[in-house]
Chains A and B, each alone.
Chain A
Amino acid sequence: MITKKGISASPGVAIGQALVLDTEEYRIPRRTIDSAQVAAQVRVLDDALAASRDEVEQLRTAAARRLGEKAAEIFAFHAALISDDQLRRNVVALIENRRLNAAYAFGSEMNRRQREFQHVNNAYLKERVHDLYDIEKRVLRHILGREREDISRLSEPVVIVAHDVTPSQVLLFDRERILGIAVNVGGSTSHTAIIAQMLGIPAVVGLNDITSDIAGGETIIIDGRHGIVACNPDSDTIDRYRRTQRENRATQARLRTLRDLPAVTLDGVDIQLLANIELADEARDALELGAQGIGLYRTEFLFLASQRIPTEEQQFEVFRGAVRHARGRPITIRTMDLGADKIAAHLATHAEHNPDLGLRSIRYCLQHLDLFKSHLRAILRAAAEGDVRIMFPLVTTLMELRQARGTVADVMEDLEEDGVPFARRLPIGMMVETPAAAMQSAVFAREVDFMSIGTNDLTQYTLAVDRSNERVAHLYAAHNPAVLRLIRDVVRAGRRSGVSVNICGQMAGDPAYCELLLGMGMRQLSMPPKDIPEIKRIIRSTTIERCQQIARKVLRFDADRQVINYLREKLRELTEGGEEERATEGAETDDPEGNIARGGVA
């Protein structure tokens, strides 16, 4: 058994067979064969090597013709590597002596060679490892040929193990059969984490090289809460985790009964709990779990799921679906926030050096008015059927905000002229997710109907940390004093201008921060639907007075560590105190770093 620690991305326990996807979505099948298959596998290898060589030769000829002999040399090199006798001999030895199939044998040999490059400190030579990756992919493609698994139709439930999982892959997954996800890259609020939470399945990210540590078909346990995975677990470990699964199910059932109770504090203050969704269908689930509305409807998924930019009609259909599912409750639609880790290939025209700070989101929209206008038209038309608000992401300057509002006004005029029904009087707001917006919130507050603090990006930009970079993800902390002060300032600015402020980042759904946010003046929280029951429970167990004391104390701290330790302590007080209605089995308390657990798991 190997256990690995990564970053907690989505809570819960999954126990199942691994399905390993390499970077090209190939599933490398079970690796061992019996002696009768050896000769056939050697043939498969040789055929694949020959086919790859031919392919590369063609590439070389084409390159020589178009770019000259010099440019074509690299292909000659690849052909030489593929034809390398030593390589073939080593792989055949693995097939014959270790009874491995051609794919696994080849991959394993290449892997061994690739790893040796980690220690090279000459840039040119180090680059050559990419030649090895290239050859590996090419030959594997030929070996696996028609064996490439169709991940949209699985015959049994599996745990996905991959380098990374992109939104478009997720949309292809056979959702009924995915038990959990484990990936090499990413931080706790990376796209994989958001997707996994959306699907309600356990996930661990930032594992670095989990794809090398487990083979397809082997058993793997995902402990989402603690960010741990166990490969080929022993029976004690399996028993322990099965027990945790049972406890979790019991807790979930208890929390569901909270759905119809109001989110009001012990001293009678109402808190509005809203949901963050990405697919129109989720609006229905959100209401099921007690959401009073949708605080953030992310529209990007629609763009990522299709091969081309969706038309106004297509967008309108989808948005209208979401509005209808919301059944008259307020729903805030955010205009597309494409860029950085979300950009779809068909929209990226130039590779940007620094996409996070580049042409994305509202900036992209303002520079592509046709796209923006048809997007707005779709939203405004869908808005006619419900209580819709519209919100702009990544606003940093007043000019941007005014231009965006101006575009909305233009679109409204066009719709009026066209005689198409739309919502005329819809509230227009903005995301506060950059330090610029937060620091100028008083100014912005005068020109919007509401503000929504996007703590994910705000934290990222304020701390200058890439939350999806597993090497620095540990520095990303929404409870960093700098971020907290910005949040406090925005809340104040909102209060002074009479403009409502809510929070829609992951922070809003995290129990450790609930009392702090309430104490800082938040009265509206928008979170992934599955977090609503737990947050409601906390709200119903506390008083605003206590929350304000907590906030006052926290805002005096200078260090992350102080803040989080204090908040955990406060949460423990609350949940330990409120145990009366619960069975003696006890439940685990959640916390952002996934380190505290009671009952079952060490």
Chain B
Amino acid sequence: MAIERQAEVRNREGLHFRPIMRIVDLVARFEAEIKVANGDRVANIRSPLELLMLTATQGTQLRLIADGADAEQALAALVELIENGLVEE
């Protein structure tokens, strides 16, 4: 059964290549199938190309939908990363 959470992109440059790599590294640890949506554009979270195509700028509200055994933990970690962890030093 799929669960859903929201996350807001907070860093200035939006979802450009560094954040994308960090997201991809993070979700490698989990098994759940996860999708990210920006409006009506949906991306498979394990595809860096699709994440790039989301063109998620600062302030974008992303919908995260996960399905699988560790869906809860995966989404929790993701929301934390996206909202707090992506701000560049």
List residues of A whose CB falls within 8 A of some B CB: 73-74, 76-77, 80-81, 84-87, 113, 116-117, 120-122, 124-125, 127-128, 131
**Separation in Å of the A534 CB from the closest CB of chain B?**
53
**Separation in Å of the B68 CB from the closest CB of chain A?**
18
Instruction: Give Cα A117–Cα B47 distance, bound, in whole angstroms.
Output: 17
- Is there an interface contact between A128 and B17, defined as CB atoms closer than 8 Å? yes
- Is there an interface contact between A86 and B16, defined as CB atoms closer than 8 Å? no
- Is there an interface contact between A122 and B57, defined as CB atoms closer than 8 Å? yes
Could you list 6 examples of A-B contacts with CB < 8 Å? A81-B48, A87-B49, A116-B55, A124-B13, A125-B13, A128-B52
Closest residue of A by beta carbon distance from B12? A124
- Is there an interface contact between A86 and B49, defined as CB atoms closer than 8 Å? yes
**Separation in Å of the A289 CB from the closest CB of chain B?**
56
- Is there an interface contact between B50 and A86, defined as CB atoms closer than 8 Å? yes
Query: Which residues does chain A contribute within 8 Å of B48, judged by CB atoms?
Result: 77, 80-81, 84
Instruction: Give Cα A401–Cα B58 distance, bound, in whole angstroms.
Output: 56
Query: Which residues does chain A contribute within 8 Å of B15, judged by CB atoms?
Result: 125
Query: Which residues does chain A contribute within 8 Å of B24, judged by CB atoms?
Result: 80
Q: Does B20 contact A (CB under 8 A)?
A: yes
**Complex partner residue of A84 from B13, B16, B21, B49, CB under 8 angstroms:** B49
Closest residue of A by beta carbon distance from B44? A86
- Is there an interface contact between B53 and A80, defined as CB atoms closer than 8 Å? no
- Is there an interface contact between B14 and A124, defined as CB atoms closer than 8 Å? yes
- Is there an interface contact between A120 and B55, defined as CB atoms closer than 8 Å? yes
Name the residue among B15, B55, B58 with the largest chain A CB count within 10 angstroms.
B55
Q: Does B18 contact A (CB under 8 A)?
A: yes
Instruction: Give Cα A74–Cα B48 distance, bound, in whole angstroms.
Output: 12
Known: A84-B48, A113-B49, A113-B53. A122 touches B21 (CB 8 A): no
Instruction: Give Cα A513–Cα B7 distance, bound, in whole angstroms.
Output: 65
Instruction: Give Cα A122–Cα B55 distance, bound, in whole angstroms.
Output: 9
- 8 Å CB contacts to A: which residues of B20-34? 20-21, 24
Query: Which residues does chain A contribute within 8 Å of B16, judged by CB atoms?
Result: 124-125, 127-128
List residues of B whose CB falls within 8 A of some A CB: 12-18, 20-21, 24, 44, 46-50, 52-53, 55-58
Query: Which residues does chain B contribute within 8 Å of A87, judged by CB atoms?
Result: 47, 49
- Is there an interface contact between B17 and A77, defined as CB atoms closer than 8 Å? yes
**Separation in Å of the A120 CB from the closest CB of chain B?**
5
Q: A81-B49, A86-B47 are in contact. List 14 more A-B contacts (CB 8 A).
A: A76-B21, A80-B20, A80-B21, A81-B48, A84-B49, A86-B49, A113-B53, A116-B53, A122-B58, A124-B12, A125-B13, A125-B55, A128-B52, A131-B17
Known: A85-B47, A124-B16. A117 touches B21 (CB 8 A): no
Instruction: Give Cα A76–Cα B58 distance, bound, in whole angstroms.
Output: 23
**Separation in Å of the A112 CB from the closest CB of chain B?**
10
**Separation in Å of the B43 CB from the closest CB of chain A?**
9
Closest residue of B by beta carbon distance from A89? B47
**Separation in Å of the B62 CB from the closest CB of chain A?**
14
Instruction: Give Cα A84–Cα B48 distance, bound, in whole angstroms.
Output: 7
**Separation in Å of the A45 CB from the closest CB of chain B?**
15
**Separation in Å of the B47 CB from the closest CB of chain A?**
4
- Is there an interface contact between B21 and A125, defined as CB atoms closer than 8 Å? no
Instruction: Give Cα A85–Cα B48 distance, bound, in whole angstroms.
Output: 9
- Is there an interface contact between A74 and B17, defined as CB atoms closer than 8 Å? yes
Query: Which residues does chain B contribute within 8 Å of A127, judged by CB atoms?
Result: 16
Query: Which residues does chain B contribute within 8 Å of A120, judged by CB atoms?
Result: 55, 57
Shortest Cβ-Cβ A-B pairs, 8 listed: A124-B13, A77-B17, A122-B57, A86-B47, A84-B49, A80-B48, A120-B55, A124-B16
**Separation in Å of the B26 CB from the closest CB of chain A?**
13
**Complex partner residue of B52 from A74, A76, A81, A85, CB under 8 angstroms:** A81
- Is there an interface contact between B14 and A122, defined as CB atoms closer than 8 Å? yes
Instruction: Give Cα A122–Cα B12 distance, bound, in whole angstroms.
Output: 10
**Separation in Å of the A59 CB from the closest CB of chain B?**
15
Instruction: Give Cα A125–Cα B51 distance, bound, in whole angstroms.
Output: 11
Closest residue of B by beta carbon distance from A109? B49
Known: A122-B14, A122-B57, A125-B13. A77 touches B49 (CB 8 A): no
- Is there an interface contact between A117 and B55, defined as CB atoms closer than 8 Å? yes
Query: Which residues does chain B contribute within 8 Å of A113, judged by CB atoms?
Result: 49, 53
**Complex partner residue of B20 from A77, A116, A122, CB under 8 angstroms:** A77
- Is there an interface contact between A73 and B13, defined as CB atoms closer than 8 Å? no
**Separation in Å of the A76 CB from the closest CB of chain B?**
6
Query: Which residues does chain A contribute within 8 Å of B47, judged by CB atoms?
Result: 84-87
Query: Which residues does chain A contribute within 8 Å of B58, judged by CB atoms?
Result: 122
**Separation in Å of the A408 CB from the closest CB of chain B?**
55
Closest residue of A by beta carbon distance from B46? A85
Query: Which residues does chain B contribute within 8 Å of A124, judged by CB atoms?
Result: 12-14, 16
Instruction: Give Cα A80–Cα B20 distance, bound, in whole angstroms.
Output: 10
Name the residue among A113, A125, A131 with the largest chain B CB count within 10 angstroms.
A125
**Separation in Å of the B44 CB from the closest CB of chain A?**
6
**Complex partner residue of B21 from A73, A121, A131, CB under 8 angstroms:** A73
**Separation in Å of the A482 CB from the closest CB of chain B?**
44
Instruction: Give Cα A128–Cα B49 distance, bound, in whole angstroms.
Output: 11
Query: Which residues does chain B contribute within 8 Å of A131, judged by CB atoms?
Result: 17, 52
**Separation in Å of the A78 CB from the closest CB of chain B?**
9
Instruction: Give Cα A346–Cα B29 distance, bound, in whole angstroms.
Output: 50
